[in-house]
Each structure stands twice: as structure tokens, then as C-alpha cells.
A and B are shown apart, each in its own frame.
Chain A
Amino acid sequence: AQSVAQPEDQVNVAEGNPLTVKCTYSVSGNPYLFWYVQYPNRGLQFLLKYITGDNLVKGSYGFEAEFNKSQTSFHLKKPSALVSDSALYFCAVSDPFSGGYNKLIFGAGTRLAVHP
């Protein structure tokens, strides 16, 4: 079955330190990969995506993600965390059988807490 795993329910980081939020996927073919962020009582905001090309993708708010095909991973990173980065982060992959319909398969989410 197609699935996305975010192995950490919560990640705690001190402000100014680098952060990594992990994502691995089990999807056939060459899916598109996405990261979204959700602030309290808000919808999801798009951060970045990988479709093809360079394995390091840069996105909004200083975030980047590294695609690793052999490990089927797409980890989200930021060199220096801010308290305002504290939020819920979702990894998603496109369902390879959905054609052009853009169905997404989501991970369970990882709560990032950045402490001053």
C-alpha cells in the first residue's frame, strides 16, 4: 500500500540550531513530494515540493528539503530555527495512480517546537 511515514510525533529544537523533520515514503514510481506547515487553527500552507532535478529543494521561510531516492526519504531542514517556526508539519506524496488529479497521501504530521 502507498504510505508516508513521519517517524517523530514531535521534534524539539533550540532557537538558532539546525532542525530536521523526517519523512520517508513507500510509493511506486516517481511521485511528487511536498511539505506543508499548519499553524494553530489554520489551514495548510505549502512550503516546498520536489518533482524532478536537483535533490535539494529550497522553499518558503528558509526551509529546504533533501530528496534521497535510494532511501525513499524527503527530510525537511532549516539551518537556523526560529521560535516562529513552531507548528505542525506534514509531508505528502502524490498518489501515482491518481493521474492528473493530484491526490495526495499525507503523513501523520510532526509537531515542531522551537524553544528560546
Chain B
Amino acid sequence: TQLLEQSPQFLSIQEGENLTVYCNSSSVFSSLQWYRQEPGEGPVLLVTVVTGGEVKKLKRLTFQFGDARKDSSLHITAAQPGDTGLYLCAGLRDSSYKLIFGSGTRLLVRP
């Protein structure tokens, strides 16, 4: 059973379109992170959210942590080919010091 479910699993869009990817769980997390991984490389941390309802912006990327701290979303405005990659959410539970990774959303932005 996957503790963190990401949707969609795969997304192919045209350059300039907007998109949202989701990270959902039935468990509460003390914090949640988003990583982007390009082919042949390790994941790179984009953002960490720690407060229920928190919204963080990173240029064209907007991250939101759910009020109940069970889910998160990543919204990309005017997607560019450079946004292509595997987006992974990862959560940290209060009872553990180990990150739990989601299944990932593979994004392809076509020029």
C-alpha cells in the first residue's frame, strides 16, 4: 500500500499551459517536501512546507500544504520544457525521522 499517492502518474502538456499535480495521504505529516528529478540525476529539493494551509511560491511554481497536513499540491503556471521531469513528494511523520516518498508524477512539457 502506497502511503503517499501522487496523481496524475504521467502528464504531457504543451508549453505555456498550466498544470496541477497532487500528493494525497490518509496520514498526517509534520512536513512535506517536493523534489524534481531529471533523467539520470538524483532528486533536487524544491520546497518544504510545514504548516497546514501553507502556500509557498517559487517563481512559476506554487506549493500548497493541506489544512489537515494530509495532502499537498504543486501548481505550475505557463509550463516550459525545462520543467520536464519526475516530481516527487515526500512526507515526514511525527513518529518517524524517515522520509516517505510518493510514487511520482512524470511531467513532459512539449515545445
Are these two chains actual partners, yes or no? Answer: no
Interface of A toward B, CB cutoff 8 Å: none
Interface of B toward A, CB cutoff 8 Å: none
